[in-house]
Homo-oligomer: A and B are copies of this chain.
């Protein structure tokens, strides 16, 4: 998720409604509690390592919002890890979130700077040593050891300006921040 207000260009561009985006920024600037959001997901175990999440509503801008439709996503472990492979692995969804977050910001920032984009693609890779989660080594962490993202961007601006747009998006990316810096996560359990 991403936006910017530097170098304002007033027309819609890249499918981004820039005038409304700037109006939203002004509204939040004058009433900061509009910026308080809560996103949420509910999940249900299906079988084996397969579970299904539902994404439906969120709170923010002073109210409750329903997504245009409810989304359901399966996740699973792959066969080589003795799962049913009835969905991507949970860790692959982190990479999707990173790609999508930086890409959304790129579109917003390019529009705000008057740059028309023709193509933005990315590849995200995450390296992980499964001895961590398998409990086979106390020296190996459970999660990714590193993540690499490579963006290819094309548009009607010099290469240097296009690179700056991606860099600004990275610098304001919610997912990049969470993955890079971590966040306090509390886990509570009701057992009956």
Bound-state CA distance A132–B68 (Å) is 25
Residues from chain B with Cβ under 8 Å of A125 in the complex: 38-40
Residues from chain B with Cβ under 8 Å of A94 in the complex: 93-94, 97, 175, 178
Residues from chain B with Cβ under 8 Å of A2 in the complex: 49, 77, 133
Bound-state CA distance A181–B144 (Å) is 10
How many copies of the shown chain assemble into the complex?
2
Q: Chain B nearest CB: distance from A130 CB in Å?
A: 4
The answer to whether A48 and B15 have CB atoms under 8 Å apart is yes
Residues from chain B with Cβ under 8 Å of A11 in the complex: none
| Interface check A7, CB cutoff 8 A | no
Residues from chain B with Cβ under 8 Å of A189 in the complex: 150-153, 162-163, 166-167
From B1, B44, B123, B183, A90 is in contact (CB under 8 Å) with: B1
Residues from chain B with Cβ under 8 Å of A86 in the complex: 68
Interface residue range, chain A: 35 or more
Bound-state CA distance A124–B90 (Å) is 14
Contact with B along A1-39 (1 / 0, CB 8 A): 111111000000011110011001100110010011111
Chain B residue, CB-CB nearest to A32: B131
Q: Given contacts A35-B129, A35-B131, A45-B119, are A96 and B73 in contact (CB under 8 A)?
A: yes
Q: Given contacts A1-B133, A41-B95, are A180 and B183 in contact (CB under 8 A)?
A: yes
Centre residue among A42, A78, A134, A173 by max chain B CB count within 10 A = A134
